[in-house]
Amino acid sequence: SQTIHQWPATLVQPVGSPLSLECTVEGTSNPNLYWYRQAAGRGLQLLFYSVGIGQISSEVPQNLSASRPQDRQFILSSKKLLLSDSGFYLCAWKGIGNTIYFGEGSWLTVV
Amino acid sequence: QKEVEQNSGPLSVPEGAIASLNCTYSDRGSQSFFWYRQYSGKSPELIMFIYSNGDKEDGRFTAQLNKASQYVSLLIRDSQPSDSATYLCAVHSGGGADGLTFGKGTHLIIQP
């Protein structure tokens, strides 16, 4: 069966510091992968998606970036965090019939 | 701009009753529709999906779709306190790789 893991689960970072969130998927090959953010009062927002190694599409302009160095690895990064980057970050993969399955999530607080 | 609208609630339902959650969407070309449940502090988990007009039942859950009215609903029969959560409606409008568009969710409270 397919599983998805992401880490770290929680982190507190100062403004201007870098960020790296990592996600890996097991039990499937060449999955479509996604990064979503859930901020208070704003719902789930699609940030990036990837259909393959090195292929990244951005849905919204921001100071975040994503990379896919391996087939089942997806990384979300920032060089300098802003207060507005705080939120719950979710990695996800697409299964059959456009169904999205989420990882456990990473809580980011920028202080 | 694709939009999915839900009443934020909270929606309070007594235990054992039917909880009815509603969702409307703006993109008439939408093809797939999903309901997720999200407990506080946790990631969303898939409850049901529906592609065709009409009803789809899975245990205590029934999803209803009306594409002409651009309306999706979720019914939860015999509501239990463990059903207390935020329910997210999500829509896929085609195109393959792009992800789902989510509503902000309805907070459901089942009163014992």
Identify the pLDDT of residue A9.
96
| B residues 48..87 contacting A (CB < 8 A) | 49, 51
Identify the pLDDT of residue A73.
96
Q: What is the mean pLDDT of residues B17-27?
A: 96
Q: Are A19 and A62 in contact (CB under 8 A)?
A: no
Nearest 5 degrees, angle CA A69-CA A75-CA B105?
140
Q: Between chains, do B32 and A97 touch, taking CB under 8 Å as contact?
A: yes
- Nearest alpha carbon to residue A27 among A52, A53, A5, A1: A1
Highest mean pLDDT among A29-38, B22-31, B68-77: B68-77
Q: Are B53 and A101 in contact (CB under 8 A)?
A: no
Identify the pLDDT of residue A98.
85
Q: Between chains, do A46 and B98 touch, taking CB under 8 Å as contact?
A: yes
How confident is residue B55, by pLDDT bands cut at 50, 70 and 90?
very high
In B1-112 the beta strands, taken as DSSP E runs, fall at 4-5, 11-14, 19-25, 32-38, 45-50, 54-58, 61-66, 71-76, 85-92, 101-102, 106-111
Q: Between chains, do B97 and A49 touch, taking CB under 8 Å as contact?
A: yes
Which tokens in the block code for residue B75?
């019914």
* β-pairing verdict for B11-14 and B106-111: parallel
Specify the higher pLDDT residue, B95 or A32: A32
B68 Rama sector, left if φ>0, alpha if ψ -120 to 50, beta otherwise: alpha
B33 inside 8 A of chain A by CB:
no
Q: Are A6 and A106 in contact (CB under 8 A)?
A: yes
